[in-house]
Amino acid sequence: MNALIFGAPGSGKGTYSARLQDKLGVEVIAMGDIFRSIIKEDTPLSKTVKSYVQAGLLVPDEIALEVVKDSMLKVHKINGFILDGYPRTLAQANALEKITHIDVVLQLCVPDWVIIERLSSRRVCKNCASVYNLRFLKPKSDNVCDKCGGPLFQRTDDNEEVIKIRLELYERETCPLVRYYDGKKVPFISYTSEKLAVPPDEVVDYFLVELKKLRLI
Ligand code: ADP
Ligand code: ZN
């Protein structure tokens, strides 16, 4: 199963794809995580990437494409993959089509007010990038990752001003891709929720049932 996961920042892409990875043995390629690890290096590339990510802007398409190509080569895609955070522009979608086939789009539809509430209380493990929420998905002990014991931190782009920019860019650049994949007859599995806190397994179970119906798992 080669899947894309689409949804606004804070819609839960990372949370659900990590759980699907555990259940299905698929690889997750998460662009945001890859860019954050590039930022930790001290290279000319890391400085460029940092300037975009911190401002909530999209990293230029040429860089994003190189990064996604490189990650596709590195992972073992025996059971397929879930791409989280790529493509985000039409140019990226066209580039992706030349390197791989996509079987399904997993789509998360969440209203803006929920996103803003969730992102302001989101925390991420410095060590393994697991995602928590201080209000809706708490770690067992404060500021410590359940999985690896690493310290949790707040992303510098998870502040109100930058969140607004990210949401606007999502609407403008990424939303049109829904029509693009629809036009290519790629099947969609959409999960819509108006609630602030949804048990992650509820969403994951829904995706699993629908993926079975499509005979992709
Ligand atoms: P979000 O919660 O906004 O979906 P991510 O962790 O997926 O956050 O991405 C964080 C940042 O990384 C984005 O705001 C953007 O700067 C950069 N980024 C991620 N994916 C891409 C991409 N495909 N093209 C360009 N920039 C990207
Ligand atoms: Zn961790």
Ion ligand 2: residues, CB within 5 A, are 125, 127-128, 130, 145, 147-148, 150
Q: Of 34, 82, 88, which is best to mutate to test ligand 1, by the most ligand atoms within 8 angstroms of its C-beta?
A: 88
* pLDDT score, position 76: 81
Could you tell me if the CB of 32 is within 6 A of ligand 1?
yes
Element (H, E) at 205: helix 200-213
Going by their DSSP bridges, the two strands 122-125 and 131-133 should be labelled as antiparallel
Q: Let me know if 179 is a catalytic residue.
A: no
Q: Let me know if 88 is a catalytic residue.
A: yes
Distance of CA 74 to the CA centre of its chain: 18
Give the residues across from 153 on adjacent strands: 124
Q: Of 28, 40, 58, 68, which is best to mutate to test ligand 1, by the most ligand atoms within 8 angstroms of its C-beta?
A: 58
What global pTM score does this model have? 0.92
* pLDDT score, position 85: 97
Give Cα separations from 89 to 156, 172, 180, 194, 212 (angstroms).
23, 9, 10, 26, 29
* pLDDT score, position 138: 94
Token representation of residue 83: 């791409």
Contact between residue 130 and residue 148 where contact means Cβ atoms under 8 Å apart: yes
* pLDDT score, position 197: 84
Report the C-alpha gap between 55 and 53 in whole angstroms.
Answer: 5
In the block, residue with structure tokens 């510098």: 156
Set 19, 88, 118, 123: catalytic member: 88
Q: Let me know if 155 is a catalytic residue.
A: yes
For ligand 2, the distance from its centroid to the CA atom of residue 133, given in whole angstroms, is: 14
Tell me which residue has its CA closest to atom 7 in ligand 1.
Answer: 32
Could you tell me if the CB of 59 is within 6 A of ligand 1?
yes
Could you tell me if the CB of 173 is within 6 A of ligand 1?
no
In the block, residue with structure tokens 């996509």: 102
Could you tell me if the CB of 118 is within 6 A of ligand 1?
no
* pLDDT score, position 150: 97
pLDDT tens, position by position, for the chain (217 residues)? 999 999 999 999 999 999 999 999 999 999 999 999 999 999 999 999 999 999 999 999 999 999 999 999 988 878 999 999 999 999 999 999 999 999 999 999 999 889 988 999 999 999 999 999 999 899 999 999 999 999 999 999 999 999 999 999 999 999 999 999 999 999 999 999 888 888 999 999 999 999 999 999 9
Could you tell me if the CB of 12 is within 6 A of ligand 1?
no
* pLDDT score, position 35: 97
